[in-house]
Structure 1
């Protein structure tokens, strides 16, 4: 097991290096910079060029990349030209909110998807299965940002059941019970909105696995030996169908990264997704590259974790 984990970690290192190069090059290819359109119009173009030269923005890209990576390795993500503070401090303030939102979304996703997928797969072609399948088809066809807007309008503005912005009520002391409950209260609606759309993939995947497993030879053999239907289903069908969900974990994390960008902006939730779009609008490329790199690393780590979990539950996939 440890050999497999070490091998996967070693494969991950060049992936992160290649990811950092692509992110840096793409950021440099974007039009303008942090000084474009946001300075006093009385400042001469010559002075702007002097500032760019002093900041090293006119150096070759590989020199700038080397300086940037050297800082990242030391924990220095650069300086934000719009927020006037280190990028690491800005990210530190936002990443906690995104983490809790993503965790809550994952919990809601599996709480919804597993019962629906099991029910749909066990009673396939029934009216209940058709209803669940119709829900997944609607989920596939509905853009996340449209669904989130509808959820915000209905449950936030019309019914007033949930707050419409922020991550905590103002004036509460951090660490108190009221503060914690307010944080939970603020993330419930965006987490459910994202989970109801992202869950459709897991429902369909689990349904297909259960239907496919029911037709396997060892299931037919178990029934022929006189095993009860509940034993066949719980000990053989369900157990073997749930194992591949571990491989879906990395995909879920990648989907959450994209989803938080939309959901956090729609719900005014101060997380990494909102910071990402704000930084693009403000041309704060030091923040953009840092956030994109962290999102990419999270996706790679999600795939790594998925492989390790799958190797634990199914040793046959381990590389010898």
Structure 2
């Protein structure tokens, strides 16, 4: 297994290299540059051109890319033109908010999906199964950003049960119990909004696996030997049906990347997703390229985690 991990890490290097080139070229292809909209329109064109020359914005793309890559390998992703601070420091301020939001979403997703999937699969073709299946169909049809707006209006503005923005109540001292509770309180509605949508895939997958496993020969054999129904479900059906769910865990991490971009923007939650959208609109290229590389790394690691989990929980699969 360790050989496979090392081999996959070496494969990640050219993947990230190609991704960095693609992202850099797409960023340069956007209209304008990092100075667009940030300087006084009445500024002397010669002074503006001198500023672009000083920042290296007039250099060929491969020269700009090489200079950026050399600094990136040293942990220096440049300076944010909008926030006037190093990109690595700026991302460091936001990354933990996104991590906590993603962790909360994953916990809520499995707390909702596993009971619903088990109920729907075990009692298929009943009224409970029809209600759960109807919920999943609505979840597939509802866009995340529309659902997030509805949740924000309903529980944030209409009922006033949750805050409508931010990650913590202003004035709360960091490190105190009140600070921790405020953090949880602020991320609960965004996490629940995302979890209710991402849950539907897991519910449908678990339901299908349980229904399929119930018809297999080893289940019929276990029943023929007189095993109790609870033992059949707990020891055989459920155990085998949860294997794809465990393997899907890494890809859930990848799926959360796109979700947090919209959710953080809708709920004004100061994470990497909100920073990513604002940086695109303001042409803050150094922030955009660093975040896309970080998202790409998370996606590659998610795929690796899924493979490793599946090899651990399924004795028939071993990565060597």
**TM-score tier after normalising by the smaller chain length:** over 0.9
User: Using the alignment, how far apart are the partners of 2:287 and 2:7 within structure 1?
Assistant: 32
User: Using the alignment, how far apart are the partners of 2:23 and 2:318 within structure 1?
Assistant: 32
CA contact (8 A) 1:249 1:303 kept: no
Instruction: State how 1:137-216 maps to structure 2 within 5 Å.
Output: 137-216=137-216
* Structure 2 stretches lacking a partner, 5+ long: none
Distance 1:55 1:315, change over 3 A: farther
User: Using the alignment, how far apart are the partners of 2:15 and 2:65 within structure 1?
Assistant: 16
Cα RMSD for the two superposed structures = 1.3
Instruction: State how 1:220-235 maps to structure 2 within 5 Å.
Output: 220-235=220-235
Give every structure 1 segment of 4 or more consecutive aligned residues whose post-TM-superposition deviation is greater than 3 Å.
315-320
Query: Partner residue of 2:91?
Result: 91
* Structure 1 stretches lacking a partner, 5+ long: none
Deviation of residue 10 (structure 1)? Answer: 2.3
Query: Partner residue of 2:246?
Result: 246
Deviation string, structure 1 residues 35-74 (Cα, Å, up to 9, x no partner): 1132111223332222222211222222211211211111
CA contact (8 A) 1:4 1:318 kept: no
Deviation string, structure 1 residues 9-54 (Cα, Å, up to 9, x no partner): 2222222222212111111111111111321112233322222222
Query: Partner residue of 1:8?
Result: 8
Deviation of residue 148 (structure 1)? Answer: 0.8
- TM-score normalised to structure 1 length: 0.97
User: Using the alignment, how far apart are the partners of 1:281 and 1:221 within structure 2?
Assistant: 61
Query: Partner residue of 1:42?
Result: 42
- Quick check: 160-169 or 224-233, which moved more? 224-233
Query: Partner residue of 1:72?
Result: 72
User: Using the alignment, how far apart are the partners of 1:247 and 1:66 within structure 2?
Assistant: 38
What secondary structure sits across from 2:316 in the alignment? helix
What secondary structure sits across from 2:41 in the alignment? coil
CA contact (8 A) 1:145 1:262 kept: yes
- Quick check: 149-158 or 41-50, which moved more? 41-50
- TM-score normalised to structure 2 length: 0.97
Q: How many positions carry a matched residue from both structures?
A: 320
User: Using the alignment, how far apart are the partners of 1:299 and 1:7 within structure 2?
Assistant: 17
Q: Residue 297 in 1 paired to residue 288 in 2? A: no
Deviation of residue 319 (structure 1)? Answer: 4.2
